[in-house]
Structure 1
Amino acid sequence: MHHVLRRLDLNLLPVFDAVFRHRSVRLAAAELAMSTSALSHALTRLRQFLNDPLFYRDGHRMCPSVYACELAPFVADALATLNQQLAPVQPFDPLTSHDCFRIAVTDYTAFCIFPGLMQALEHAAPNLRFELRYLPHNPALTELLAGEIDLALSFSEPDGLSDPDLVETDLFSDEFIVISHRRRTRLTLEDYLAARHLVVTPWNEKQGMLDLHLARLGLARRIALRTPSMLGAPFMVTGSDLLMAIPSFVADTFEQVVNVSRFPLPFAVPRFTVKIYSHRRSGTRKATDWLKGVISRTITGKAHYAPPSPPPPP
C-alpha cells in the first residue's frame, strides 16, 4: 500500500507546487525559505523520480510540461487538505469561533432549547453556526458514535442505545398534559377514552408513548389524526373537538397564542428527562463542553424547570 509514496520524499511536493505557481525558481525558493541551489537540487530529484522534465526554462520563466500541468491541481489539493487537517488545534474562543455544530433534535427539543440558546449566543458567540438534523433517538445516537454529529438532544427510551462512549447530561424533566378547545371544563378518564385524539408521530411510528402506557392498562384511545409536525397541531385542536397530549413546556408557550384549555392526564405516566448526549472522546471536547454548559444554563433559567424525578425505591 502507498508503494509510490514510500519511495518519494514528500518534501519535494511543496517545491513542485511553488515553482508551478510562481513559474520562477527564485520566487519559489523565497516562499519556501530555501536557497535557489537547494531548490534546484530538489527539483532535479523530483524530475528523476517522476521521469519527466516537469519545467522548461524560457528566459526567466519556468514553463511547465504537459505532465506537470496535469499533476499540479492534484498536488495543490493534497497539500491544501493536509495543511488544513494537520494544523494544530486552536484554543476554543466562543467570541471569535466560526465552528459549526451538528446537532440531532426533534421538533420538541429544538422548540425547548434553541430560542433561548440563540438569544444567549447573540453576543457571546455571534459567529457560531448550527446544523439541526431531525433524527429518532437511536439513529441520533448511532450518528453521534460515528462522529457524524456533535450532540444529540433527546430523552432516554426503554430500548435506547447504550454505549460506554455516550455521555448523558440531564437538562430538565417534563410531563405530558392534555390540551382541548376552551369549551371543555373537565377531563376524566372516561372523557379521555371517548374523545377523538390528535397524535404527533414525527417518525411515522404506529404507537406513541402514551398508547404504550394505555395498552399496559388494557385501554386504547381513538386516534382521529396523526401528523408528523407539532407546529400546526394546537391550531387544529382549538377549532375542533380533538384532544392532544403535549409536553407541558410546549403547552406553556402555545397557550399564549392558541385559545386552548389544559388538563392533567387522567392516568399515571412518569415524567421524562430531556438530555444532552455527547461522545466521550469528542475531538472538539472543549467546544462541545462549553456549548453543553451554555445550553444547561439557558434551560435552567426557565420557570417551569423541575429536577429529574428520583428513581423509584427498590
Structure 2
Amino acid sequence: MLNIMHPALRRIDLNLLPVFDAVYRHRSVRIAAEELIMSTSALSHALSRLRTALNDPLFFREGHRMCPSVYATQLAPAIASALTFLNQQLIPQPDFSPAVATDCLQIAITDFTAFCVFPALMHKVQPLAPGIRFELRYLPHSPALTELLAGEVDLALGFNVLNETEHPDLDEITWQRDEYVVISNVNRARLTLEDYLAASHVVVTPWNETQGVLDIELERMGHTRQVAIKTPSMLSAPFIIEHSDMLMAIPRSAAERLARSAHLKIFPLPFDAPPFDVKIYSHKRSGHRGVTHWLKQQLQAIAGKM
C-alpha cells in the first residue's frame, strides 16, 4: 500500500533530507557536516546518494561555496517546511507533571461513585495538581464502553452490573470491594430473611436495569423481593427510608456515610451475595495517557486507606 501511496518516498532515504537542507542553507559541506555532527566525507557520500535518487546534481561547487541547481532551489522551501513541521510534531511526549498539568478529564460516574470517590479524590489531588479539571458525566449504561472507545470519556467509575464483559481495548481494575448491607428506619429492631422478604424495598437502578445482583441471588434461593420504588439516584433514597418502613440494600461504605445525614439503622444483609466491586475503566490508548495513569495511581492509594 505504501508503494502505491508514496512512490517517491520509497525511493529516498528520508535521512538524506536534513543533509540537503543543511547544505542549501549554509552553501558549505563543512559547515553542514558540523551542524549535523557528521564527517565531511560522510556528508559528501550522503549528498551523492541523494543526487542519484533525485537524478539531479543539486549543488555545484563554485570556489568555496556550494551553489544550488534550479531543481534544488525549487525543492528547498518544501523540504525546509516539511522538516520543520515533522520536527515540531515528532517531539516525544513529556513526562506527566501534576504540579503544572492543566488537563481536563471527562469521567463517567454514577451518583454513588461520585459520592464515595470524589470527596477523598479531590482532597488528595487538588494540592498535588491544582490545574487539573474534571467534568463528571452521568451515562445511561455501564461500563461506558462506547464512550471510552470513542474517546468521549477518559475514565469510567462503575460497579459490577449484569452482562459486563471484558474488552481487549479497555483496562479494568477493581478500585474497592465492599459488602452489601441493609438500611432501615431507626424503629426496626431486627432483620431476618423473612423480615427482608416481607418488607417493601427501594432499589437504585442507575441504568434502568430490570434486575440486579441481589435479585438474582434471591431468585436462586426461590425468593423475590417487593420493589416499591426504583430510582436512578441513590442520594434521595436514604431519606425515603428514614420516613418509611421500606428497606434498601447498599454498600456498607455508602450506608455509613449516609447514616450521618439521615436517621438510619444498618443491618447485615440476611443472605449471601457477591461483593460490591467499584471498578475503574480506561482506554488503553487514551489521549490523556499520562494523567489518567497518574489519576488511577491516586485512586488506588485512596482505596488502600479506606
Q: Which TM-score band applies after superposition, normalised by the shorter structure?
A: 0.5 to 0.7
1:205-260 deviation per Cα after TM superposition (whole angstroms, max 9, x unaligned): 22232122212222111111122211111011111111111111101101122111
Is 1:180–1:242's contact at 8 Å kept on the other side of the alignment? Answer: yes
| 3-state SS of paired residue (1:273) | strand
How much identity, in percent, do the aligned residues show?
Answer: 53
AA at the equivalent of 2:212? G
User: 2:246 and 2:222 mapped to 1: Cα distance?
Assistant: 22
Which 4+ runs in 1 deviate beyond 4 A? Answer: 85-88
Counterpart for residue 277 of structure 1: 281
1:251-273 deviation per Cα after TM superposition (whole angstroms, max 9, x unaligned): 11011221111111111101132
Counterpart for residue 312 of structure 1: none
Counterpart for residue 218 of structure 1: 222
CA distance 1:300–1:179, change in 2 (3 Å): same
| 3-state SS of paired residue (1:235) | helix
Q: 2:158 aligns with which of 149, 154, 158?
A: 154
| 3-state SS of paired residue (2:244) | coil
| 3-state SS of paired residue (1:242) | coil
1:91 aligns with 2:92: no
AA at the equivalent of 1:108? F
Q: 2:299 aligns with which of 291, 295, 301?
A: 295
Counterpart for residue 123 of structure 2: 119
Is 2:203–2:231's contact at 8 Å kept on the other side of the alignment? Answer: yes
User: 2:220 and 2:264 mapped to 1: Cα distance?
Assistant: 29
Is 1:141–1:161's contact at 8 Å kept on the other side of the alignment? Answer: no
1:239 aligns with 2:243: yes
User: 2:110 and 2:203 mapped to 1: Cα distance?
Assistant: 15
Cα displacement (A) at 1:158 = 4.7
User: 1:287 and 1:225 mapped to 2: Cα distance?
Assistant: 40
Counterpart for residue 253 of structure 2: 249
| 3-state SS of paired residue (2:135) | strand
Tell me the TM-score normalized by structure 1: 0.66
Is 1:116–1:299's contact at 8 Å kept on the other side of the alignment? Answer: no
Is 2:203–2:249's contact at 8 Å kept on the other side of the alignment? Answer: yes
AA at the equivalent of 1:186? R
Counterpart for residue 180 of structure 1: 184
Is 1:137–1:154's contact at 8 Å kept on the other side of the alignment? Answer: no
CA distance 1:138–1:229, change in 2 (3 Å): closer
Q: Which has the larger radius of gyration?
A: 2
| 3-state SS of paired residue (1:148) | coil
User: 2:153 and 2:302 mapped to 1: Cα distance?
Assistant: 21
Counterpart for residue 144 of structure 2: 140
User: 2:233 and 2:278 mapped to 1: Cα distance?
Assistant: 19
Root-mean-square deviation (CA, aligned residues, Å) is 2.3
Cα displacement (A) at 1:139 = 5.5
Cα displacement (A) at 1:86 = 4.7
Is 1:182–1:259's contact at 8 Å kept on the other side of the alignment? Answer: yes
1:151-171 deviation per Cα after TM superposition (whole angstroms, max 9, x unaligned): 111234452132212111221
Cα displacement (A) at 1:291 = 0.7
Question: Where do 1:193-204 residues align within 5 Å?
Answer: 193-204=197-208
Counterpart for residue 21 of structure 2: none
Q: 1:104 aligns with which of 91, 108, 127?
A: 108
Aligned residue pairs, count: 222
1:2-30 deviation per Cα after TM superposition (whole angstroms, max 9, x unaligned): xxxx9xxxxxxxxxxxxxxxxxxxxxxxx
AA at the equivalent of 1:289? H
| 3-state SS of paired residue (1:297) | helix
AA at the equivalent of 1:124? L
AA at the equivalent of 1:263? F
Counterpart for residue 268 of structure 2: 264
1:41-90 deviation per Cα after TM superposition (whole angstroms, max 9, x unaligned): xxxx9xxxxxxxxxxxxxxxxxxxxxxxxxxxxxxxxxxxx99x958444
Is 2:143–2:281's contact at 8 Å kept on the other side of the alignment? Answer: no
Tell me the TM-score normalized by structure 2: 0.67
| 3-state SS of paired residue (2:174) | strand
AA at the equivalent of 2:175? L
